[in-house]
Amino acid sequence: MSSTIPRPPGYPIVGNLFDVDPTNSIKSLDDLADKYGEIYSLKFFGNEAYFISSVDLVEEVCDETRFEKKVEETLVEVRNGVHDGLFTAHNDEPNWGIAHRMLMPAFGPISIKDIFNEMHDIASQLVSKWARIDHDTPIQITDDTTRLAFDTVALCAAGMRINSFYREDMHPFIDAMADFLTESGLRSDRTAVETLLNPGLEKKYRRDIELLRSTAQECIDNRRANPTDKKDLLNAMLYGKDPKTGQQLTEECVIDNMITFLIAGHETTSGLLSFTIYNLLKNPEALQKAQQEVDTVVGSGPIQFQHMSKLPYIEAVLRETLRLTPTVPSIAVTPKRGTKESVILKGKYVIPADATIYCQFTKSQKDPSVFGEDATEYKPERMLDEKFRRLRHGAWKASEPFGNGARACIGRPFAWQEAILAMTMILQNFNLRFTDPSYQLRIHETLTQKPLGLQIKASLRAGIDPVKLPQKLHSGAPVNGDVVHAPSAASTTNGDGKPITILFGSSAGTCEGLAHTLGSAARGRGFKPDIRTLDEAVDNFPTDHPVVIIASSYEGLPPDNAKIFMEWLKSTNSDLSKASFAVFGCGHRDWVSTYQKVPATIEELLVKKGATLFAPRGETDVSKGAIFDDFDAWMDVLADKLSAGNEEASSPLSASFNVQVSTNARSGHLRYNHMHHSKVVSNERIAGTDAPEKRTPEKRHLVLQLPTDMRYEAGDYLAVLPVNHTHTISRVLRRFSLPWDAAMTITDGTHATIPANTELSVAAVLASYVELSMPATRRNKEILSKCTENRLEDESMSGSVIDILERYPEIKLPFPTFLAMLPALRLRQYSISSSSLADPSTASITFSVLETEKHLGAATTYLKDLEPGSTIQIAVKQCSNAFRLPLDDTIPLIMACAGSGVAPFRGFVQERAAKKASGKEVGEAVLFVGCRGESDMVFAKEFAEWEAQGVVKVFPAYSRQSELTKGCKYVQDRLWSERELVSRLFDQQGARAYVCGSSKIGQGISEAVAKIVCEQGEKDGEPTTYEEALKWWQDLRGDRYAVDVFD
């Protein structure tokens, strides 16, 4: 049954014209949504338009199989200046498709990475300007963010330096653009008669258009007079060809799109940065967290490209800003061309087939059914990666500030990198405040919206010298340029190598770039690569040599140059039983339901056709900004698979580098840029006994002094860079007859961690660069077997490489080959067992020492031997968002662990204790701890004090003294014993549950909870099967139940 769509009563002829304030239209429309609900209509001069403001409806109209972009009245007027540019083109205009296909690669991740230095240069100009003005001088924030964004797009897209920060007034283009957009909006509301009666406005309008077009022409003329091979937007427009039709853009079309990018490329980014600063100043806690993240990740040095993917809170700040204050407040859609009959929304709202529908993002992005009752509050935490990905698909569509689907903003990666970079540099260097603390947000509207009258003041943070700041901003190493994969000494590059075909499906150019990167690496390993598009493999899929496929998904659909291949693969009867292949996929987790869909489908279909998968599928999440790291890691896997069976590649005597060993010098040098030095405050044994009859692992508590710019939150990890034990190093030196003062130099090739052409102490290399105690791999064992004439028994090939070498003295393994077999020394990660609220200058970790006759844990024995005053290299690693303490301190906690798994919960309880001591109300907390016995219980005295303060209740389970713990041997037994308390806290009071320990502990807790649920169901007369209860519990994981499992 259809529902009536409400409409305010209007006036003859003009309809609802007076229901919308032209100077504050966004608020007018939002007020109407508050009054009439999720959908209403308005009539203007006989034309009816529909307005929707719920996530349900926005999600429905963003379905591109049913609806498409509508170039509505205001955009029709904007076409007077930019015609059929990318933003204003109608869906059926050919120039849109040509320009879109040509320009997509210019906004791919590789291209965006390459312009990082140029973006950094412009952002440095803003920072330098603010640093030189008096800290009490008001800053008109929208003016400076406009300068920043306009100069950035002009330099990065067209190679033009506008130098806006070196002039008092704005560039004429900016003023003409603002007037042009404002007038376009006003013209759409005027009648033809009104336009004729205002000839002055018409003349000004035409002058503004002429200035916009002459500025674009100036960019073009400048490029033609000063040609460059730079792969930027302007070159793509001037010299590129449409990959589908082979056509080039006309001069007029280049001008249209140059204006489009100059407008869109700065107007929205300027608004985003201005709104972000406003929201952070209104929410000091979020500002502090953002600044802390910058300090932790970037520190005091210059920001580098690799930092960009490591700023999740900054990204959350920007996302939350776009949710609450979107720079583009609405988009218009209409039923797809060819729709004959009325369409029905939400099963009840009947809309005409030619209707214009406006999505009100300013309301839908505050939909309480999705964002909760605090939807109008600024909380970046709701937009952190894991919570962000858990949002309904429609909620992100509703929150999408860059448009929808095929007509979404092509420059999104450009704007996002620019915004993250600018905000990070501002927060790194300045403390901000309102000029007028009582300022209330006002909006300036054109096609976009910005804060009106927002002024701030910026003062340099402590320790920053304005004179030295410009040098500091530019002191980092360059981040762009080609990545060179150096071939090993045994590699060949001749054209007679083994064939390998690399097929790519790419629209933005990313996968194509990865394909060529792989091709270069393959040549270095003696292969002869043939690089083609996937469509070129139709009816021509190789079956006599390996095939590597690199493909992406675009909301679940294949790229343009892979569509034919996908259809062919679904229907072909070709014999692919002799084909062997591997797949690497690029995707974006913002589109959860279609993430990696195309690469996964290609893999599935090829396997069904009989082809053999010779390497596991690799993947990268573009949203994390680690494309190149992920691809490099996968290429290592691929190289191992391709080398299998290749005598030259797998020969144990053809090491990838040569080593010269000398005994007359010893030195060691090691630098780890991502780590920080920390001093040991204390290192105490807190549990464990050496008595033979009651031996238990030693547990220790290590307190570290943190660097001044390092911060953490309860639940985070501390990554430690260990050093191998001297006993293990001695075993290696003894096996290879090397003295302790032996030195080595890698003279050619490369190693993952050991510097080339530098004399290093062999002992230092063995201590600090490689893993000595890790179990030998299958490949290691194959190499060892080839180095002896005797047959090696499988059962005696256990343990590390040095274990096997000591077991078999007859193995003749050269030292360089031994070194090449060892993986790089890896970081060890430990849960932080303290809260920064107790002491922000220190952090502690709690660990069990792995120390047996046959094996010494590299990290734990290293940590055990550290004395107060020792220096150690550390880094803070963030835990998952699900494992954080709830923002609401009154929410109860249920914590379960065993052994050193208590570490993060000591931090949790210490934080709650600090808050309770300051007068805050905290929720009930219970801690279930499993250990061997009373003497093995760590932090018993502290927990007893916190229990006396009413902060926590502790329920131990002693496996060797169960008589002291109500007969409960394991933590899951104690949880079951206290099931009434657990049920009350979880079911009635909404407690959050946390589990830390081995996977066995996690499984035991899940089984105990399932039993509790079943018992409670019986009591309530709603029987539940054990399987149903277990599934219910698992479905809560990541929401109300979080796990940190280690083995």
**Cα 32 to Cα 20: distance, rounded to the nearest angstrom:** 9
Q: What angle do CA 143, 147, 148 make, to 5 degrees?
A: 115
Q: What is the DSSP letter of 756?
A: B
Minimal CA–CA distance to 899: which of 940, 943, 930, 859?
A: 930
**Cα 526 to Cα 498: distance, rounded to the nearest angstrom:** 7
| Plot region of 805 (φ>0 → left; ψ -120 to 50 → alpha; else → beta) | alpha
Minimal CA–CA distance to 279: which of 267, 270, 288, 287?
A: 287
Given the residues 268, 269, 325, 860, select the one marked as catalytic. 268
Question: Greatest CA separation found in the chain?
Answer: 103
**Cα 1034 to Cα 1028: distance, rounded to the nearest angstrom:** 10
**Residue 456 bridge partners (DSSP):** 139, 434
Q: What is the helix (H) or strand (E) element at residue 565, kind and residue range?
A: helix 563-571
Q: Tokens representing 717?
A: 């990890």
Burial class (CB in 10 A: 0-12, 13-18, 19+), 196: exposed
Q: Where in 778-824 does DSSP place strands (E)?
A: none
Q: What is the DSSP letter of 497?
A: S
Q: Is 409 a catalytic residue?
A: yes
Phi first, then psi: give them for residue 457, nearest 5 degrees: -125, 145
Sign of the dihedral through C-alpha 692, 694, 695, 699: negative
CB 383 within 8 Å of CB 365: no
Side-chain half-sphere CA neighbours of 954 within 13 A: 26
Minimal CA–CA distance to 699: which of 532, 847, 858?
A: 847
Q: Tokens representing 49?
A: 């338009």
Phi first, then psi: give them for residue 608, nearest 5 degrees: -65, -30
Neighbours of 274 (CB within 10 A): 28
**Cα 453 to Cα 289: distance, rounded to the nearest angstrom:** 26
Q: What share of the chain is helix, strand, coil (3-state, %, to 5)?
A: 45, 20, 40
| Rg over CA atoms, the chain | 32
> CB under 8 Å to 919, separation ≥6 — which residues?
none
Given the residues 165, 339, 402, 689, select the one marked as catalytic. 402
Q: What is the DSSP string of 643-692?
A: HTT-HHHH-TTS-SS-EEEESS--------TT-EEEEEEEEEEEEEE--G
Q: What is the DSSP string of 905-946?
A: HHHHHHHHHHHHHTT-----EEEEEEESSGGG-TTHHHHHHH
Q: 567-605: buried (b, 16+ CB within 10 Å) or exposed (e) per residue?
A: ebbeeeeeebeebbbbbbbbbbebbeeebbbbbbbbbeb
Q: Where in 513-637 does DSSP place strands (E)?
A: 527-533, 547-552, 580-587, 612-613, 618-621
Q: Is 402 a catalytic residue?
A: yes
Amino acid at 299: G
Minimal CA–CA distance to 243: which of 500, 505, 530, 482?
A: 505
Residue 409 assigned to a binding site = yes
| Plot region of 581 (φ>0 → left; ψ -120 to 50 → alpha; else → beta) | beta
Amino acid at 216: A
Given the residues 62, 253, 359, 409, select the one marked as catalytic. 409
CB 148 within 8 Å of CB 270: yes
Looking up tokens 């849109």 gives 96
- Annotated binding site for heme, which residues? 409
- Residues with a known catalytic role: 268, 402, 409
Instruction: Give the annotated binding-site residues.
Output: 409
